[in-house]
Chains A and B, each alone.
Chain A
Amino acid sequence: MYLYDDLDRTLVAERVAEFRDQVARRLSGELTEDEFKPLRLMNGVYLQLHAYMLRTAIPYGTLSSAQMRMLAHVARRYDRGYGHFTTRQNIQYHWIKLAELPDAMADLASVGMHGMQTSGNCVRNITTDQWAGVAPDEIEDPRVWAEIVRQHVTLHPEFSFLPRKFKIAVGASSHDRAALRIHDLALRLYRNGAGELGFEAMVGGGLGRTPFLAKTIKPFLHKRDILSYVEAVLRTYNEFGRRDNIYKARIKILVHELGAEAFAKEVEAEWQNIKDGTLALDPGAFADIASRFHYPAYERLDDSPRELTDARRADRLFDSWIGNSVIDHKVPGYAIVTLSLKPEGGTPGDATAEQMDAIADLADRYSFGEIRVGHEQNLVLPHVARRDLLPLWRALDAIGVATPNVGLVSDIISCPGLDYCSLANARSIPIAQEITRRFRDHNLARELGRLHVNISGCINACGHHHVGHIGILGVEKNGEEFYQISLGGKGDEDAKLGTLLGPAVPYAQVADVIEDIVAAYVELRERPDELFIDTVKRTGIEPFKERVYAAR
Chain B
Amino acid sequence: MPLVKAGRIVDDPYVRALDDAPIPDGVPVIVPGPRFLADASELVARDAPVGVLWPNDRRAAELEPWLGDLALIALVFPKFRDGRAYSQARLLRERYGFRGELRATGEVLRDQFQFLIRAGFDAFEVKKQADARVFTEAAARFSVFYQPSTDGRLPALRHRLRGGGPAVKARETL
The answer to whether any beta carbons of A and B sit under 8 Å apart in the complex is yes
Given that A38-B81, A278-B148, A288-B160 are known contacts, is A155 also in contact with B142, CB under 8 Å in the complex?
Answer: yes
Given that A17-B141, A39-B111, A273-B95 are known contacts, is A158 also in contact with B146, CB under 8 Å in the complex?
Answer: no
Indicate if A508 sits at the interface (CB-CB under 8 A). no
Per-residue interface assignment for chain A, residues 19 to 32, with 1 indicating a CB less than 8 Å from any chain B CB and 0 otherwise? 00010000000100
* B144–A11 CB distance below 8 A: yes
* A30–B130 CB distance below 8 A: yes
Chain B residues near A243 (CB-CB < 8 A): 82, 84
Q: Which of A1-9, A172-180, A314-322, A476-484 contacts B (4 or more CB under 8 A)?
A: A1-9
Indicate if A197 sits at the interface (CB-CB under 8 A). no
Chain A residues near B66 (CB-CB < 8 A): none
Indicate if B129 sits at the interface (CB-CB under 8 A). no
Among A14, A22, A239, A288, point to the contact of B142 (Cβ < 8 A).
A14
Indicate if B114 sits at the interface (CB-CB under 8 A). yes
Q: Which of A81-89, A159-167, A336-344, A386-394 contacts B (4 or more CB under 8 A)?
A: A159-167
User: Interface size class for chain A?
Assistant: 35 or more
Indicate if A422 sits at the interface (CB-CB under 8 A). no
Indicate if B48 sits at the interface (CB-CB under 8 A). no
Residue of A nearest to B90 (CB): A158
Among A161, A238, A289, point to the contact of B80 (Cβ < 8 A).
A161
Per-residue interface assignment for chain B, residues 57 to 87, with 1 indicating a CB less than 8 Å from any chain A CB and 0 otherwise? 0010000000000000000000011111011
Residue of B nearest to A237 (CB): B87
* A162–B157 CB distance below 8 A: no
Residue of A nearest to B118 (CB): A157
B152 to A: closest C-beta gap in Å: 12
* B142–A11 CB distance below 8 A: yes
A429 to B: closest C-beta gap in Å: 32
Given that A158-B90, A284-B161 are known contacts, is A7 also in contact with B167, CB under 8 Å in the complex?
Answer: yes
Interface residues of B in 116-148 (CB under 8 A from A): 116, 118-119, 130, 141-148
Interface residues of A in 27-68 (CB under 8 A from B): 30, 35, 38-39
Indicate if A395 sits at the interface (CB-CB under 8 A). no
Interface residues of B in 95-119 (CB under 8 A from A): 95, 109, 111, 114-116, 118-119
Q: How far is the CA of A239 from the CA of B86 in the complex (A)?
A: 9
User: Interface size class for chain B?
Assistant: 35 or more
Indicate if B164 sits at the interface (CB-CB under 8 A). yes
> Do most interface residues of chain A lie in helix, strand or loop, or is the interface mixed?
helix
Indicate if A533 sits at the interface (CB-CB under 8 A). no
* B83–A155 CB distance below 8 A: no
Q: How far is the CA of A10 from the CA of B160 in the complex (A)?
A: 13
Chain B residues near A238 (CB-CB < 8 A): 83-84, 86-87
Residue of B nearest to A21 (CB): B141
* B87–A158 CB distance below 8 A: yes
A413 to B: closest C-beta gap in Å: 31
Interface centre among B95, B109, B144 (most CB of A within 10 A): B144
Chain B residues near A289 (CB-CB < 8 A): 157
Q: How far is the CA of A284 from the CA of B142 in the complex (A)?
A: 26
* A159–B83 CB distance below 8 A: yes
Chain B residues near A14 (CB-CB < 8 A): 141-144
Chain B residues near A121 (CB-CB < 8 A): 81, 83
* B115–A160 CB distance below 8 A: yes
Chain B residues near A152 (CB-CB < 8 A): 146-147
Q: List 15 A-B contacts (CB under 8 A).
A: A7-B160, A11-B142, A15-B142, A17-B141, A38-B81, A121-B83, A157-B116, A157-B119, A158-B149, A160-B83, A161-B86, A239-B87, A279-B148, A285-B157, A288-B160
A-side residues, CB < 8 A to B, are: 5-8, 10-11, 14-15, 17-18, 22, 30, 35, 38-39, 121, 151-152, 154-162, 235, 238-239, 243, 273, 278-279, 284-285, 288-289
B-side residues, CB < 8 A to A, are: 59, 80-84, 86-87, 90, 95, 109, 111, 114-116, 118-119, 130, 141-149, 156-157, 159-161, 164, 166-167
